[in-house]
Homo-oligomer: A and B are copies of this chain.
């Protein structure tokens, strides 16, 4: 139950970030709803299709769709009248990444996959929505730029798996993984951490 609420919060947060990205690209009202929804449910959808989990989570439970549409609408209204608190949005986005990545990893783990697949599925769940958002806006995905984003997800999932191997209780492992993802992501933004670039001109 707690997990379900956290998942909905993650969806709402990503829907906000998608709606704002759509506003930057000057899309119309419908485009805002679409980008907000895709950003929020894209990662989980790719994960479900690859893992052959049917029905896909938002077909099984359409509340996710209501939530992303309402959140997109709310974001447009809010941005029209009030300033967007950039800091709190950043924190929310880091939390969304953390929740989605560890939830996705947990699903893959429950399906009995090997560790590398668990890491990959968690990372896909956390990042694919944003990648699709960027591709639809014809940008090079943020994920692939010199910014610690997916790396934070990978690090947190590894901590989660490590703690599970050490027989730490499920809840503690879950929270610890989330904290690592969110903390790495936030510290990277605050201190401008970057990964080294591979520059090849052949």
Listed in ascending order, the chain A residues whose CB lies under 8 Å from chain B are: 19-20, 22-32, 34-35, 45, 49-52, 54-56, 58-59, 62, 65-66, 76, 79, 84, 86, 113-114, 116-117, 120, 131, 135-141, 143-147, 150-151, 154, 194-202
Contacts and interface: CB of A to CB of B under 8 A. Distances in A.
A139 B136 contact: no
A59 B120 CA distance: 10
Copies in the complex: 3
Nearest to A89: B202
A20 B202 contact: yes
Contacts of A151: 30
B59 A51 contact: yes
B56 A114 contact: no
Most buried by B among A22, A59, A84: A59
Contacts of A131: 136
Given A55-B52, A136-B135, A145-B28, A198 B117 contact: no
Contacts of A52: 54-55
A117 B195 contact: no
Given A84-B202, A195-B30, A200-B79, A140 B137 contact: yes
14 contacts: A20-B202, A22-B144, A24-B202, A25-B144, A27-B145, A28-B146, A28-B194, A29-B197, A29-B198, A30-B150, A49-B50, A62-B116, A62-B117, A131-B136
B31 A144 contact: yes
A138 B136 contact: no
